[in-house]
Amino acid sequence: MPSRDYANTVDVEDNSALVQENLDPEPTNPSWRLSFPHVLVATISSFLFGYHLGVVNEPLESISLDLGFNGNTLAEGLVVSTCLGGAFIGSLFSGWIADGIGRRRAFQLCALPMIIGAAISATTTTLAGMLFGRLLVGTGMGLGPPVAALYVTEVSPAFVRGTYGSFIQIATCLGLMGALFIGIPVRDIAGWWRICFWVSAIPAGILAFAMMFCAESPHWLYKQGRSSEAEIEFEKLLGGAHVKFAMHELSKLDRGDETDTVKITELIYGRHFRVVFIGSTLFALQQLSGINAVFYFSSTVFKSVGVPSDLANVFVGIANLLGSVTAMLLMDKLGRKVLLLGSFFGMAVSMGLQVAGASPYMSGSGALYLSVGGMLMFVFTFALGAGPVPGLLLPEIFPSRIRAKAMAVCMSVHWVINFFVGLLFLRLLEQLGPQLLYTIFATFCLMAVVFVKRNVMETKGKSLQEIEIALLPQE
């Protein structure tokens, strides 16, 4: 940036007169076009997250034949779940990495194991090589989403923050559909599954390269005591007319030089316990609603009513994408809390339809419409709020000082419950039957409605500083 533009930059803390003149925000919102490219690059990590979640679904049979573990259900399960184990590790350290080296470098760091892991998976001739590659990819997958949620929240203007936050869910959805699309030729072309892994290295490389040209989070820079650099980044993201007000908003809060002193105990039972509890519970209820059981095992359910698995996956993908786009359009109009309430209630109703469809008193086309319609409605209503909102809402309600580390704790809860739901779903379906299991999922959805109603505040249109001041724990 030209030095003349910043020759007279003054630290906001030392310039109270200037700050006093700029107490009120500019009469117009900053242009969304300035921050849009930065958000778009960040959501590549979410696309990769979705792609790697779905990349082994279609090719798993070919992989097991080529690598010599066909028929070994434990090995097949490990190829899927090793990735989730890696994601847990990545998410656990994401907060410390994002606070330590900054958001941009954290993105580049998450791309590295994805590229290396994809290359190992694509070239391996053994099960051990495949599992090692999937573990590496998983660490990148775990690191990416919490950093993306932080970055998008911190670089977005308040009036479009909800819309931009929805991009994360849409990108994840497109990644899942991309994996499905790339996997189509796997039954006809020998070794095509290797191409499926190689393809994923391309967006990972683009993410690592493009992040060199993106803005660093001004919130992170300010926490490091680098106010002049934070002003420069705000100018890139908001335009010159909005820089002084944005810096004034940051100056209302502690600079946070003591970031390194944030301990895990402070998050689990200290002064910030309440917001971390809300975040962890939201992610737990998101997973206990049964969404990943639906995603992982939708093909089985559709097959039982005579719908081919590839067609089932297409239907689920379309429902997910439609819900995500609708959420994007409504997020900054209706607000986060309304979408969460409507989403969880809609999911409970959808599970009720599937319970009715599984009833012995229901048969023929009635059972088909209830089962398939209930599942598609469930996916749509999930994508409307329960999917995108927690990842956006939590960085909004967490104080700046603990934001990255608190997100790491909540995402770790997400991955642990995700793993156990995936591990136990089929066994529970066998033991309890679909009616009882779907009733349990519906109950969790209704519990989520009550929890959101009582504990979640609306953040639509508010600056991060306004939200933080409203939620500051009483000393």
Q: How far apart are CA 36 and CA 413, in angstroms?
A: 30
Angle at 217 between CA 214 and CA 219, to 5 degrees: 165
Q: How far apart are CA 89 and CA 143, in angstroms?
A: 8
Q: Mean pLDDT for the chain? A: 84
Residue 7: exposed, middle, or buried by beta-carbon count in 10 A (0-12, 13-18, 19+)? exposed
Q: Can you list the domains of the chain with their CATH numbers? A: 31-215 (1.20.1250.20), 262-474 (1.20.1250.20)
State pLDDT tens for residues 7-21: 333 333 344 333 344
Q: How far apart are CA 228 and CA 69, in angstroms?
A: 57
Q: What is the dihedral of CA 224, 227, 232, 235, to 10 degrees?
A: 110
Q: Could you tell me if residue 433 is left (phi over 0), alpha (psi between -120 and 50 degrees) or otherwise beta?
A: left
Quickly list DSSP for 275-333: HHHHHHHHHHHHHHTTHHHHHHHHHHHHHHTT--HHHHHHHHHHHHHHHHHHHHHHHHH
Q: How far apart are CA 145 and CA 394, in angstroms?
A: 12
How much is the pTM?
0.82
State pLDDT tens for residues 281-325: 999 999 899 887 776 666 666 766 666 766 777 888 889 999 999
Q: Could you tell me if residue 68 is left (phi over 0), alpha (psi between -120 and 50 degrees) or otherwise beta?
A: left
Q: Are the C-beta atoms of 165 and 156 separated by less than 8 Å? A: yes
Taking residues 425-446, report their average pLDDT: 86
Question: Which residues, other chains included, contact 194 with Cβ-Cβ below 8 Å and sequence gap of 6+?
Answer: 122, 123
The DSSP symbol for 274 reads H
pLDDT value at position 210? Answer: 96
- The full length of the chain comes to 475
State pLDDT tens for residues 75-125: 887 888 888 889 999 999 999 999 999 999 999 999 999 999 999 999 999
Q: How far apart are CA 91 and CA 87, in angstroms?
A: 6
